[in-house]
Amino acid sequence: MRSDTAWRLVHELAVGIGPRPAGSEGDRRAVAWAQQSLSALGLSRVRVQPIELNTWQRVSASATLTVNADGQLPRDLVLAALGNSISTPVEGLQAEVAWYPSLAALMQEPADPTRSKAAGRIVFVDQKTERTRDGSGYGRAVGARVNGPIEAGRRGALAYGLRSVGTSGGTSQSAESTDSVRDRERIAHTGATRYDLRVQPIPAFAVSVADADVIAARVARGQSLSLRLNLQNRTQVPSLTHNVLAEVPGTDLAHEVVLIGAHLDSWDLGQGAVDDGAGVAIVSAAAALIEQSVRTQPALRPRRTIRVVLFANEENGFDGAVAYGKAHASEIHQMVAESDFGGGRIYRISSRVQAAALPLVAQMAALLEPLGVAPGSNDGNPGPDAAFLMRAHRWPAMALSQDGTRYFDVHHTERDTIDALDATDLQQNVACWAAVAYLAAQAPSSFNPVPASGPGR
């Protein structure tokens, strides 16, 4: 609990390198840094897995809101293009705003441009994100970002905007064009969206929570709004990225793998400290702690190999997870788990294992109890890349749930910076991860097979 390794690592990555979208110069620097850092930590078989992919790149974004009747307001919005968004025409576009309180409200209209008010307009969905400890509020809101452009496009919209999927700022309900208290919190949350090949793609963006409040208040007054929008992005850019792997070698069951992972890439707006520099630092420091203990007391070397995987392009395609799964499909995985929810303290341990392994999970929970960790259920979510691998390969999984109460204040924004992390909380994370990884590697029996149905599903 006294080690500052995780804090040092995340500072080097977030401050020293900063934003690192897959295939970018920042990404290339991060891959080189990860190889050097994992080697310096004493881990073995440090290596990279090259991945070719097409990437999306942000160029510019602007939007101005006006009241149709008299051209009043006008208000320049704080916005961010959603990942994968196409561009507007170079000169931009202008149209009336069709406002909806939620994605569900939009979908209640017929998917027919001749019967929807969305046709020929810029759709704006005001889906709110509830602040929760476990991220469930985000889970309920994120569909508006991921699926909204498709649904708006089905109904003939020219573009799609939404309230940022996040919990930053914007508490004022004033409809005035400026509000000094609220406007200090004007930040936009980006994130990936997607298109359906059967539906004409439309430009997609998110505005700050504060700007969404202004739009909602003006609509409540019965005012008709127009938006002038210009988004410029690059799509399908041929790129190269890498997974980075390192190991604490096992002994008699060295061919079996305990995978602890995080994703090395980030969005381009902030430093990527919270998402997911913290996770990179936590799992790397946890593996290093185990390796240091083994070197001091060789008899402690784990039975199974503990493998750190720093995944590529989690943010916009899961290319790293897909590539890892293809390359390692034939290997036995005792466990997969990922740290990708910031640096908040771990408060719960959950699993996805066969029923016979649950007593071993209970032993882990008992060991972590002094650190403030409670036992969970056998339907845990091990993190995005790890969950993909769990589903695709039926690999057992563990989930160490972090307190995400403040996570979505900065998630996918320019404020995802080092000052949003707490060094003491990182130490608690490292201790929990080291204990779970080591106990999984030492377990007298397998966590496999994961049942095809029931609580281990």
Let me know if 187 is exposed, middle or buried by CB neighbors in 10 A (0-12, 13-18, 19+).
Answer: buried
Measured in whole angstroms, the distance separating CA 209 from the mean position of its chain's CA atoms is 19
CA–CA dist 352, 367 (Å, integer)? 19
Q: Residue 170 has what pLDDT? A: 55
How big is the chain by its Cα radius of gyration, in Å?
A: 23
Measured in whole angstroms, the distance separating CA 95 from the mean position of its chain's CA atoms is 32
Encoded amino acid at 393, one letter: H
Max Cα-Cα span within the chain: 79
Residue 189 exposure: Cα atoms within 13 Å on the Cβ side? 27
Instruction: Count Cβ neighbours within 10 Å for each residue of 205-225 and write b for 16 or more, e otherwise.
Output: bbbbbbbbbbbbebbeeebeb
Q: Residue 457 has what pLDDT? A: 36
Q: Which residues of the chain have pLDDT under 70?
A: 1, 69-71, 170-184, 451-457
CA–CA dist 245, 235 (Å, integer)? 29
CA–CA dist 283, 263 (Å, integer)? 10
Predicted model pTM: 0.94
Distances (CA, A) of 409 to 124, 130, 244, 417: 21, 11, 29, 12
CA–CA dist 434, 441 (Å, integer)? 11
